[in-house]
């Protein structure tokens, strides 16, 4: 019998929430506005070098949108928030999909960027409602 | 009553001293010692949700209240400690950590 079988093992946490506790959906919104503007400028340009740079930068910005939304989802929003706003899980999923390969990260569709901004605005509204309570 | 037990580390706030999956020999019910690691109960978070049972380093007594322990994390870039949640009463110390048991680091399941 190994030593660890003799005793029950207790899980002890060496991690917790971020110490700063500062969250704001504005981070995701600003990156999403960058994505939208890059799409607009790339669509207006016929310079292949510019379009190549635009693709690279747009992918970075779209990745940041996903990152900031996931931080809100995993670190800021707590079980009582998800109880009060049952649509929140789906909303974050849809928003991050719009920032992903099937959305603004993979395409040059300004309408997709507007959809993304609208989803972030919905998350932002819920976020500030939770701050009231 | 003081009794020995085992604990498994989850997370990175005690790096580089301890790593995720480390197995520890602890003394449940033993009082804290300055400089030693301890298993502690942290206050609830700002939403009133309980924090998980945690491992921290006892770095001293609270300068403004000698009846309370000041605990810190070894990794300043992760986790919470007394700088965020304040000092802890003696009753919040659940166990003293004696040593890390050298064995395979397996994730807690």
Q: How many CA atoms lie within 13 A of B78 on its CB side?
A: 18
Tell me how close the Cα of B65 comes to any Cα of chain A, in angstroms: 23
At residue A14 the predicted structure's pLDDT band, cuts being 50, 70 and 90, is: confident
DSSP 3-state of B84: helix
Q: Which neighbouring-strand residues pair with B10? A: A13
CB distance A13–B84 less than 8 Å?
A: no
Chain A residues with CB under 8 Å of B78 CB are: 14-15
Contact A7 B20 (CB under 8 A): no
HSE-CB at B14 with a 13 A cutoff on CA atoms is 26
Put simply, the answer to whether B42 touches A79 (Cβ < 8 Å) is no
Average pLDDT, chain A: 88
pLDDT single digits (tens) B1-46:
888 999 999 888 888 888 888 999 999 999 999 999 999 998 887 7
Domains of chain B with bracketed CATH:
3-101 (2.10.109.10)
Domains (range + CATH), chain A: 25-131 (1.20.120.400)
Distance from CA of A23 to the nearest CA of B (A): 14
In the structure, what pLDDT confidence band is assigned to residue A96 with cuts at 50, 70 and 90?
A: very high
Which DSSP letter does residue B32 get?
Answer: P
- pLDDT score for A8: 80
Three-class DSSP labels, chain A: CCHHHHCCEEEEECCCCCCCCCCCCHHHHHHHHHHHHHHHHHHHCCCHHHHHHHHHHHHHHHHHHHHHHHHHHHHHCCHHHHHHCCCHHHHHHHHHHHHCCCCCCCCCCHHHHHHHHHHHHHHHHHHHHHHHC
For chain A, the maximum distance between any two Cα atoms, rounded to a whole number of angstroms, is 71
Q: Do A16 and B39 touch (CB under 8 A)?
A: no
8 Å CB contact of A14 and B13: yes
ipTM of the complex: 0.72
Q: Which of residues 65-104 of A touch B (CB under 8 A)?
A: 78-80
User: What are the tokens at B37?
Assistant: 């690691």
């Amino acid at each position: 019998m190994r030593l660890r079988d003799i005793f029950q093992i207790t899980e002890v946490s060496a991690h917790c929430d971020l110490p700063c506790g500062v969250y704001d959906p504005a981070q995701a919104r600003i990156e999403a506005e960058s994505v939208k503007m890059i799409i607009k400028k790339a669509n207006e340009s016929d310079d292949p070098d510019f379009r190549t740079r635009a693709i690279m930068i747009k992918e970075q910005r779209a990745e940041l949108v996903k990152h900031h939304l996931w931080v809100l989802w995993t670190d800021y929003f707590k079980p009582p928030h998800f109880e009060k706003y049952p649509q929140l899980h789906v909303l974050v999923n849809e928003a991050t999909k719009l920032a992903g390969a099937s959305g603004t990260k993979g395409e040059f569709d300004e309408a997709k960027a507007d959809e993304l901004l609208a989803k972030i605005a919905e998350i932002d509204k819920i976020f500030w409602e939770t701050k009231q309570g | 009553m003081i009794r020995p037990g085992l604990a498994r580390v989850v997370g990175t706030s005690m790096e580089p001293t301890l790593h995720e999956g480390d197995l520890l020999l602890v003394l449940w019910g033993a009082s804290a010692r300055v400089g030693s690691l301890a298993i502690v109960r942290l206050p609830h978070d700002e939403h009133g949700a309980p924090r998980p049972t945690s491992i921290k380093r006892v770095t001293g007594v609270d300068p403004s209240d000698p009846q309370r322990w000041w605990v810190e994390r070894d990794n300043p870039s992760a986790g919470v400690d007394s700088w965020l949640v304040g000092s802890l009463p003696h009753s919040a110390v659940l166990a003293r950590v004696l040593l890390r048991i050298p064995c395979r680091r397996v994730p807690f399941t």
